[in-house]
């Protein structure tokens, strides 16, 4: 707890300092002029420097710059404005006091300084300063907590759109994005395509290698499909179980078939052994494609139904292939 006395009179400085020290204020600093006080407060620094000063006792009548002008400048400084200032004045005429309060002084003490009055006013100013500091600390703490909460909410909302096993989008997120992309395509009359993917004979895979290996396989397949997608709007999601869905905005059926074929090949290239598969020695996938130009007469579920039907055909015509 440090108190700064600014007074041009050496006698006055010594007297007030002694009185304060007698009352237990051990850190009392003095300045002979307003400018010396500004130096101590680091007022000429471009950035705020931390000051230990909790209270300023400011003489009013001083050569060079009077205490009221000094008070006004300190209060105008964003780093120092919260330091309470008590002016010490030889005259308590209303006009002087009015000027002092307008300049931002919190209180005044008249000369000659009376020990009891000095003690009471200093304690009262420090109490207010302490309360302000406490409030500011609580506010800063609150801002920090709110920021953390916001981050946590953002993270929560991110996680709520991800599939826990594969880390790609989940079905909930797919439905949100699909709905949005559908409406955009219907509004602008642009093309939109969807792919439905289903692993071939995955039940046998689990039966052969176990559920844990099955989960690992799903992760690899999800990653491989994601790597094929290049455009920012493309999305691969886990639709459920061993089924995946891909949204390809602004993509024709022909373009979608190319992407589907690239995904199918990428999954083959993972070369995940599947000894029980009647199709190949490794894990394969069947893909159904639907898409085209969207009009307001279409329903979002139309493409889903068509992609599902195409997937069924891919399955029944031998699996490990793409069908429209």
Supply the residues annotated as catalytic.
242
Rule CB under 6 A: is residue 239 a binding residue for ligand GH3?
A: no
Binders in 216-275 for Mg ion, by CB under 5 A: 243
Q: Does 198 bind Mg ion (CB under 5 A)?
A: yes
Q: Which among ligand GH3, Mg ion, none contacts residue 104 (Cβ within 5 to 8 A by kind)?
A: none
Q: How far is the CB of 147 from Mg ion (least distance, A)?
A: 44
Closest contact distance (angstroms) between CB of 254 and Mg ion is 26
What six digits make up the tokens of 132? 């302000």
Q: Are 307 and 290 in contact (CB under 8 A)?
A: yes
Residues 59-98 that bind ligand GH3 (CB under 6 A): none
Query: Which ranges of the chain would DSSP assign to H, the alpha helix?
Result: 10-22, 34-41, 67-75, 94-102, 115-159, 171-188, 202-209, 211-228, 253-270, 300-316
Decide if 291 contacts 256 (C-beta within 8 A).
Answer: yes
Taking CB under 6 A as the rule, does residue 316 contact ligand GH3?
A: no
Question: Binding to ligand GH3 by residue 242, rule CB under 6 A?
Answer: yes
Question: For the residues of 94-119, what is the DSSP string, one character each?
Answer: HHHHHHHHHTT--EEEESSPPHHHHH
Q: Which does 18 bind (CB under 5 to 8 A by kind): ligand GH3, Mg ion, none?
A: none
Distance CA 299, CA 304 (A): 10
Segment 178-207, which members bind ligand GH3 (CB under 6 A)?
198-203, 206
- Compute the distance between CA of residue 201 and CA of residue 307 in angstroms, rounded to an integer: 19
Residues in the chain: 324
Q: In the stretch 47-76, what mask flags binding to Mg ion with x, by CB under 5 A?
A: ------------x-xx--------------
Give the residues lining the site for ligand GH3 (CB under 6 A): 198-203, 206, 211, 214-215, 218, 241-242, 315, 319
């Amino acid at each position: 707890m440090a108190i700064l006395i600014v007074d041009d009179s050496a006698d006055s400085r010594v007297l007030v300092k002694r009185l304060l020290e007698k009352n237990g204020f051990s850190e009392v600093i003095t300045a002979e002029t307003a400018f010396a006080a500004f130096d101590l407060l680091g007022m000429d620094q471009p950035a705020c420097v931390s000051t230990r000063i909790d209270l300023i006792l400011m003489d009013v009548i001083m050569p060079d710059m009077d205490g009221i002008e000094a008070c006004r400048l300190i209060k105008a400084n964003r780093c120092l404005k919260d330091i309470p200032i008590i002016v010490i004045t030889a005259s308590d005429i209303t006009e002087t006091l009015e000027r002092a309060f307008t300049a931002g002084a919190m209180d005044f003490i008249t000369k000659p300084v009376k020990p009891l009055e000095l003690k009471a006013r200093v304690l009262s100013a420090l109490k207010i300063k302490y309360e302000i500091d406490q409030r500011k600390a609580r506010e800063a703490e609150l801002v920090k907590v709110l920021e953390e909460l916001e981050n946590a909410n953002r993270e929560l909302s991110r996680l709520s759109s991800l599939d826990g096993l594969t880390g790609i989008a989940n079905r909930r997120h797919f439905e949100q994005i699909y709905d949005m992309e559908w409406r955009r395509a219907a509004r602008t009359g642009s093309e939109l395509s969807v792919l439905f993917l289903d692993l071939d004979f995955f039940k046998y895979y689990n039966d052969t290698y176990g559920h844990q290996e099955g989960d690992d396989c799903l992760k690899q397949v999800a990653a491989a499909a994601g790597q094929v997608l290049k455009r920012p709007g493309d999305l691969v999601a886990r639709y459920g179980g061993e089924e995946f869905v891909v949204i390809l905005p602004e993509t024709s059926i022909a373009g979608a078939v190319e992407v589907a074929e690239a995904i199918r090949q990428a999954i083959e290239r993972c070369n995940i052994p599947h000894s029980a598969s009647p199709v190949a020695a490794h894990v394969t996938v069947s893909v159904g494609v639907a898409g085209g130009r969207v009009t307001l007469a279409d329903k979002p579920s139309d493409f889903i139904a068509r992609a599902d039907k195409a997937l069924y055909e891919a399955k029944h015509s031998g699996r490990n292939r793409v069908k429209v």
